[in-house]
Every structure is written in structure tokens, then in C-alpha cells.
Amino acid sequence: MTQSLKRQIVELPESLEAQVASLAQKTGRSRAVIVNEAIDTYVNNQLRWLTDMDAAVLDAKQGQSYDGADVLDWLDSWDSDSEKGRPEPSKR
């Protein structure tokens, strides 16, 4: 099912507009599709980050902690073919 679209006006710096236009030309997709995908990716990543931060704050309030290296390894795996699950809390 296709979602209905709402028209938005987005102002871009000239340098970014040039990059969008170049990508559109090289991929054969419209600038609108590229901007839409970029916004979708950004919004989903930010919402995911905020959700995970809320969970981390709750864990900290409950006395749970995580090994920093495990957290960084997990974050580095995001959006890869080998994305890892959230690390387990450290044993105290």
C-alpha cells in the first residue's frame, strides 16, 4: 500500500543541493526520492537513538551498567549486515 504524500518545502545549502542533484543523476532517481529517503533514514536513526537512550537512562536508574567497549561495538554494528543486539548489562 502506498502512503499518501504531503508536499514540504525544504531549503538546502547550494553545496548540498548540488550533491543531491549529482546523486540523482548518477542513480537515475529523482531528487525528491533521494531527499525523502535521506529524511526517512535520519528520522528513523534519531528515533532509534532516543529510544535506546531512554532505555539506557532507565537501566542506569535501576543500577545496571554496561561495558563501554561493548556499547561502542554495538553502535558500530548499526546499519551493517552483521548488526549486533543490545549488549547485556555488566555483572557487578
The 10s digit of each residue's pLDDT in 29-73 is: 999 999 999 999 999 999 999 998 898 889 889 888 888 899 899
- Mean pLDDT value across residues 66-92: 86
- pLDDT, the chain, mean: 91
CA dihedral 18, 20, 23, 29 (to 10 degrees): -130
pTM of the model: 0.69
Query: Residues of the chain with pLDDT > 90: what percent?
Result: 53
Query: What 3-state DSSP class applies to 4?
Result: coil
Contacts 24+ apart (CB under 8 A), 45-54: 45/78, 45/79, 52/86
The pLDDT assigned to 22 comes to 98
The pLDDT assigned to 56 comes to 83
